[in-house]
Amino acid sequence: MKTLIAGNWKMNGTRAFTHDLCNALTNHVKTPNADVEMLICPSAILIRDARDSIKDSPIKLGAQDCSNAESGAYTGEVSAGMLKDMGCDYVILGHSERRSYHSEANALICEKSTQAKDKGLIPIICVGETLKKRIAGKEFDVIKEQLIHSVPKSIDDFVIAYEPVWAIGTGKVAEISDIHAMHEFIYTILSEEHGRAVADKTRILYGGSMKPSNAKDILAVPRVHGGLIGGAALKAETFNGVYDIACGV
C-alpha cells in the first residue's frame, strides 16, 4: 500500500500563498512515486487555486471537511459532491478541531464518511485521545469507541489518522512505543469490525507535530502508513522534507 503524506493546511493561506507553495511542491514532486503519495488539503475556498497549481503533477487534492447532507438548505456547508466536482480525491473528517470546536460527534462523522464514499471521495477519518483520557489510562477505550462509531460499516476504502489531541500543534510527539501500540490496536479493531481484508488494505496515518526531524522514526513504525501533517505542511521545505524521508531519499 502507498505511504500517504497528507498536508492539512487548516485555516491558513491566501491565493498567493497557495500558488507559491504548490509551485514549490510541484517543482519537487515531478513524477509519481510507486510507493509514496503526496496530498494537500487546503481550506475549501483555496481548493480551486490549488487544483489549478498542481494540475499535471502527481500531487493529490483533498478537503478538510464536508457536509453529511447531499445538497439543499444547509447554509455555509460544502457537499462531498462539490468537492469531487472540484477535483478532490480525499476529505479529512472528524479532525479533533472539528470534534471539539464544532461538537462533531461520531455519528455525524459516520454520516459524512458515507456521503464522501457515495460521491467517490476517500475519507481520512481522524481519531485521537485527549491528554486527560491518556493520563486516566483510557486511550484505547476512546479510540475503539471512535473507530466503531465514526467509520461506516458499509465502506471499505478509507484512511484512518491517529492523532493524539495533545500532540497536535504542540511540538509534543507521542512516544514511538505508544504510536506502535495504538496503530496495532487500530488494526485489530478494524479487523474485528471490517474483516482482515479491509484492515490489511487500510492505511493508518500518524498525526501530531510530525516534521522532518521526527518523520524517519515515526514512518519506520510497523503499521504506520504515512502522516497527517499540519504546521510542517505549510512550508515547502518541511513538507517536501517529510515526503523525501517517506521515499527514502
CB 64 within 8 A of CB 92: yes
Please, what is the minimum distance in Å from the beta carbon of residue 171 to ligand PGA?
8
Does residue 8 belong to the site contacting ligand PGA (CB under 6 A)? yes
Nearer to ligand PGA, 81 or 163 (CB): 163
**Known catalytic membership, residue 145:** no
Does residue 155 belong to the site contacting ligand PGA (CB under 6 A)? no
Query: In 3D, which of 182, 226, 180, 233 has the Cα closest to residue 211?
Result: 233
Nearer to ligand PGA, 230 or 241 (CB): 230
For ligand PGA, the nearest residue by Cβ is: 230
Part of the chain binding ligand PGA (CB under 6 A), chosen from 140-148, 177-185, 195-203, 227-235: 227-235
Alpha helix segments (H runs only) across the chain: 15-28, 47-54, 80-85, 96-101, 106-118, 131-135, 139-150, 176-194, 196-201, 212-219, 236-247
**Known catalytic membership, residue 180:** no
Using CA of residue 97, residue 57, residue 226, residue 89, what is the dihedral sign? Answer: positive
Q: Residue 112 in 3-state DSSP? A: helix
Does residue 208 belong to the site contacting ligand PGA (CB under 6 A)? yes
Does residue 169 belong to the site contacting ligand PGA (CB under 6 A)? yes
| Catalytic residue ranges | 95, 163
